[in-house]
């Protein structure tokens, strides 16, 4: 008989281990009917109820003005550029210059509508004819510098200028010796710059440099000097 004084022994049952998935274990592998039916190649933005449209910002560039004789432009607030703009005739735009009801500029309004600032830009206005005249000037300069005949003329002038006094000295020696000058600028098919905007006073010197800033190979002219010594 068991000892009544000894504690009763409890049988410890081992915990049931989770079933191991197998190809034949139907209780572990869900049926295909329960799987969500979705096309993995179909993104949410391609759904039929989604309308394609861009996320646009308010148009603060083309500012409608109350006075049609003015033109508006955003100018850098850099002190140098701002001073240049004022010297050109621009002034700071105010609320009275903007067409009433144009709400796109409201976030940029500063100091009670006395100025409009967008980051490092400030809205300025100028007489429209002055502004259009500047645009026309730029167009004419671009057209002139794009013309092949004008480019030939500019190249010939640059060649004569860059070779400078060295060639002039060689020419003087040849003339003294009774020979023809070693160099004369001859460029057939060149254009007369006076017939373009580049013929205006000071324009050619300012704008011709825009043709390129790469260093030009003008040569050492040693061959010309040796030719003179040999004669």
pLDDT in tens, 25-48: 555 555 655 555 666 666 777 777
5 belongs to a structural domain: no
Q: What's the distance, CA 20 to chain centroid?
A: 64
Q: What is the pLDDT of residue 115?
A: 92
172 belongs to a structural domain: yes
Q: What is the 3-state secondary structure (H, E, C) of 88-109?
A: HCCEECCHHHECCCCHHHHHHE
Clarify whether residues 152 and 223 are in a common domain.
yes
Q: What angle do CA 20, 25, 31 make, to 5 degrees?
A: 120
Which secondary structure element, helix H or strand E, spans residue 179, and what is its range? none
110 belongs to a structural domain: yes
The token duo for 222 is 């040693």
Clarify whether residues 160 and 127 are in a common domain.
no
Domain count, the chain: 2
Q: What's the distance, CA 41 to chain centroid?
A: 37
Clarify whether residues 198 and 226 are in a common domain.
yes
What's the mean pLDDT in 106-126? 89
Domain extent, residue 199, equals 148-230
Clarify whether residues 223 and 152 are in a common domain.
yes
pTM: 0.55
Q: Cα–Cα distance between 3 and 9 in angstroms, integer?
A: 12
Give the tens place of pLDDT for each residue, 188-213.
666 777 778 877 877 777 777 655 54
Q: What angle do CA 224, 230, 231 make, to 5 degrees?
A: 100
Q: Cα–Cα distance between 127 and 113 in angstroms, integer?
A: 20
Clarify whether residues 119 and 163 are in a common domain.
no
Clarify whether residues 198 and 152 are in a common domain.
yes
Q: Cα–Cα distance between 169 and 3 in angstroms, integer?
A: 136
Clarify whether residues 172 and 102 are in a common domain.
no
């Amino acid at each position: 008989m068991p000892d009544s004084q000894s504690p009763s022994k409890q049988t410890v049952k081992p915990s049931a281990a989770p079933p191991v998935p197998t190809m034949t274990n139907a209780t572990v592998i869900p049926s295909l009917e329960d799987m969500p039916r979705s096309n993995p190649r179909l993104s949410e933005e391609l759904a039929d109820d989604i309308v394609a449209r861009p996320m646009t910002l308010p148009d603060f560039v083309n500012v409608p003005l109350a006075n049609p004789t003015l033109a508006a432009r955003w100018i850098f607030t850099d002190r140098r550029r701002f001073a240049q703009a004022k010297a050109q005739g621009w002034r700071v735009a105010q609320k009275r210059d903007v067409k009433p009801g144009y709400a796109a500029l409201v976030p940029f309004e500063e100091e009670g509508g006395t100025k409009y600032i967008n980051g490092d830009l400030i809205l300025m206005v100028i007489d429209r004819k002055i502004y259009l005249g500047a645009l026309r000037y730029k167009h004419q300069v671009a057209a002139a510098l794009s013309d092949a005949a004008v480019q030939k003329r500019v190249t010939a002038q640059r060649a004569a200028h860059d070779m400078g006094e060295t060639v002039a000295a060689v020419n003087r020696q040849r003339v003294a010796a009774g020979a023809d000058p070693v160099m004369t600028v001859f460029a057939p098919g060149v254009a007369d710059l006076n017939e373009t905007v580049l013929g205006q006073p000071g324009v050619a010197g300012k704008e011709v440099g825009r043709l390129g800033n790469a260093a030009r190979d003008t040569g050492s002219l040693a061959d010309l000097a040796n030719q003179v010594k040999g004669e």
